[in-house]
Amino acid sequence: QSALTQPASVSGSPGQSITISCTGTSSDVGGYNYVSWYQQHPGKAPKLMIYDVSNRPSGVSDRFSGSKSGNTASLTISGLQAEDEADYYCSSYTGSSTPVVFGGGTKLTVL
């Protein structure tokens, strides 16, 4: 199972919106509505931000939103804040004997 494809880096200014893409195949992202997104600050554990493509866990800001079209999922962060600077990873269920695949990660820089 190949890793999902994410841009290595994205950047934006405070208050702006950014979108991170996550491209897979019909065997993972495109085949199931089980895409999740994780935020990871340096030296910290990942934190769930979006699950089932577009659902936010309790406590996650509504500035974070998710969507999917075909084999590509997206994470949008609106109203960028300094604390959003972190690495972001997408993940998808695959329905195979290796049921989980991650993206390579995207480093978000808030300028």
Partner 1 sequence: QVQLVESGGGVVQPGRSLRLSCAASGFTFSSYGMHWVRQAPGKGLEWVAVIWYDGSNKYYADSVKGRFTISRDNSKNALYLQMNSLRDEDTAVYYCARDNVGGAGYFFDYWGQGTLVTVSS
| Sites of contact with partner 1 (CB under 8 A) | 1, 3, 34, 36, 38, 40, 45-48, 51-52, 57, 89, 91, 93-94, 97-105
CA 104 to chain centroid: 10
Per-residue CA distances from 21 to 10, 29, 59, 95 (Å)? 10, 11, 23, 21
Work out how close the CB of 101 gets to partner 1 at its nearest, in angstroms, rounded to a whole number: 7
Contact 94, 13 (CB under 8 A): no
Minimum CB distance to partner 1 smaller for 57 or for 70: 57
Minimum CB distance to partner 1 smaller for 44 or for 79: 44
Minimum CB distance to partner 1 smaller for 1 or for 19: 1
Contact 100, 3 (CB under 8 A): no
